[in-house]
Amino acid sequence: MSSTCFDIEKVAELFGSSLLEEDDVLMDNYLEAYEEIMKFFQLMGSVFSFVSSDVRSKLDILYQFRNEETQNYENFFSIKTMIEYEKTANLFDDKSYVSASRTLLRLHRGLDFVYEFLTRLQDLEDNDKAYECCKSAYNDTLAKHHSFLIRKGAGVAMYAMPTKAELLKRVCQDVPSAIEKLPDMLRHTRVVYDRTDQLYTLHDLHSLP
């Protein structure tokens, strides 16, 4: 499959292989899967600019933490080790420190939107407009964390959403295969999301500024 297309099977494989033990997620696999999701945003163009504008910078920040030349890079091996390290070292209170946990929280919220949108999209008929399911997914997820101006801009952008068939044709090279593999991708995405969410809940980090 072309590297410029959104590869649903690849996301499923990466998220599936990211699961560590019973409650953890490997950072490298998570970031690689998110790179594929980033393609989805980019292929949708300005329609998803309210999501994608911040994702690239967040991914790049987290790659720096995983760079072998970065001090303590091994502490960011997984989402659990990242949170435990930053919490134990009291780094959440250090105003000069760019927190990996805070950075990943933004990606985590974005993943919630992607999951909800694609879950609702798969229930549409081919000729149904994707606007309503995108709007409802956004309102139930990312809108809670966005300012009024961003919410307003997102609402305007979503009016340009094509039909389900047109959307899948735009972002996926093999649409029948994508439709077949989407449930598996969503299943793995849900597990990764839930594990991450539980770790942030356990350490009371959902409100990191």
Closest CA to 13 of 4, 23, 1: 1
Residue-level pLDDT, tens digit, the chain, 209 residues: 446 899 999 999 999 999 999 999 999 999 999 999 999 988 887 777 767 778 999 999 999 999 988 888 999 999 999 999 999 999 999 999 999 999 999 999 999 999 999 999 999 999 999 999 999 999 999 999 988 988 898 888 888 899 999 999 999 989 999 999 999 999 999 999 999 999 999 999 999 88
Instruction: Transcribe 57-90 into DSSP letters.
Output: HHHHHHHHHT-TTSTTGGGGSBHHHHHHHHHHTT
pTM of the complete model:
0.93
Structure tokens at 187: 């299943």
- Where does 8-202 sit in CATH, by number? 1.10.3520.10
Region of residue 19 (phi > 0: left; psi between -120 and 50: alpha; otherwise: beta): beta
Place of tokens 């077949």: 180
Per the prediction, the chain carries an average pLDDT of: 93
Distance CA 149, CA 173 (A): 34
The pLDDT assigned to 2 comes to 46
The pLDDT assigned to 139 comes to 94
Query: In this predicted model, what pLDDT tens digit does every residue of 112-162 receive, in sequence order?
Result: 999 999 999 999 999 999 999 999 999 999 999 988 988 898 888 888 899
In the chain, what percentage of residues exceed pLDDT 90?
78
The pLDDT assigned to 124 comes to 95
- What is the residue extent of each domain of the chain? 8-202
Instruction: Transcribe 98-114 into DSSP letters.
Output: --HHHHHHHHHHHHHHH
